[in-house]
Structure 1
Amino acid sequence: MEEKWSQTALLVIDMQNDFILPGAPMHVAGGPAIVPAVVKAVEIARDHGISIIWVVREHDPFGRDVELFRRHLYGDGKERPTSKGTKGAELVEGLVIEEGDYKVVKTRFSAFFATNLHSLLQSNGIKNVVVVANIYDMRNVGVATLMLQEWCSSDA
């Protein structure tokens, strides 16, 4: 395996049913359209031996670890989005966590806040991070982004 690939991790973020499926409580417009590209990115990462890190939201069913402005979604009779163990918290069809992959659970917007992601990347010698999902917001804060085709042919 080339050194650049051994120092690269693919972060697959929020590709859960409650974010992707139409009508889901946390549905993100355009989510279903990106699923095939995410599946392809995971396949490419597996082919190159790139570490795959699945970043998911998993909340307490009672909403005790949810942001204050979302707690109203977790009362009696509510849908309780991305609650641990629910269908909504599962990865969307076509994406599977395999042996050797790593799962980071977050309860806030960023996987780099109040999770072990940073130390995981450092302790495994990861110098390059490829992120799938939420590219629009990342571009808006100045993160350099490549489309899947550019990444596949990139020497970066």
Structure 2
Amino acid sequence: MADKTGGTALIVVDMVNALAFDGGDRLRKPAEAAVAPILGLRDAADAAGVPVIYVNDNGGAWHSERSRLIESALADEAAPGHRLTLALCPRHDDYFIIKPQFSGFYATNLPVLLPQLGVSRLVLTGIAADICVLFTAADAHMRHYDLWVPADAVAGEHPERTRWAVEIMANSMAAETRPTRALTLKEWLDAAD
């Protein structure tokens, strides 16, 4: 599915996640708060013909693939990230890339997929704002992608570190960081024209 809007993709980072790690309980509430803005962006992306790309950590499961990662994240209903994964579960036509490290670009096929889709602009969402989203944004910036990182569509364990990461992306990577209530996907797409 090629982007019909001049090269934009919606990236959802690490939201298929049981949050079964140290600090996962602290991340649950902020991550769940980002679900509605991400779903709104996903709906707008669908309406505009913008590809949706999930970029997800392998969680140390080196033999894993998409269905196994989703199944694992949903296996324990009591896990902090169960509701998060349920709400944002990738659909059949969404792209799904497994990453081994923090950046969605490092040792993945994302750098190959984006040019195939004609993408030059990225909307980055997900967790954690101060780690995986930040590293993905840095790699995207170095590759000359225009960035929108909606402040309400990213989350982290610590509010001050999340704010700090969003400020770095805005100031050092020229990322647009207005939240989805202040900027719509349509407005972001129109600004490219």
Q: What TM-score do the two structures reach when normalised by structure 2?
A: 0.57
SS in 2 for 1:17: coil
Residue 122 of structure 1: how far off its partner (Å): 1.3
Partners of 2:56 and 2:33 in 1: CA distance: 19
RMSD: 2.8
Of 118, 128, 133, the residue aligned with 2:121 is 128
Residue 124 of structure 1: how far off its partner (Å): 1.8
Residue 87 of structure 1: how far off its partner (Å): 2.6
Q: How does 1:68-147 map to 2 (within 5 A)?
A: 84=69, 85-87=71-73, 92-133=85-126, 134=129, 135=154, 136=162, 137-141=165-169, 142-143=172-173, 144=175, 145-147=177-179
Matched, 1:148 2:148: no
Residue 49 of structure 1: how far off its partner (Å): 0.8
Whichever structure has more helix as a proportion of its residues is 2
Residue 110 of structure 1: how far off its partner (Å): 0.5
Higher Rg of the two aligned structures: 1
Q: 2:43: which partner in 1?
A: 43
Structure 2: where are the runs of 5+ without partners? Answer: 75-80, 130-153, 155-161
Runs of 4+ aligned residues of structure 1 deviating over 6 Å after TM superposition are none
Identity level (%)? 27
Q: 1:32: which partner in 2?
A: 32
Choose between structure 1 and 2 for higher RCO, CA contacts under 8 A separated by at least 6 residues.
1
Equivalent residues, number: 131
> What code does the residue aligned with 1:45 have?
A
Q: What TM-score do the two structures reach when normalised by structure 1?
A: 0.69
Residue 4 of structure 1: how far off its partner (Å): 6.3
Residue 97 of structure 1: how far off its partner (Å): 2.0
SS in 1 for 2:87: coil
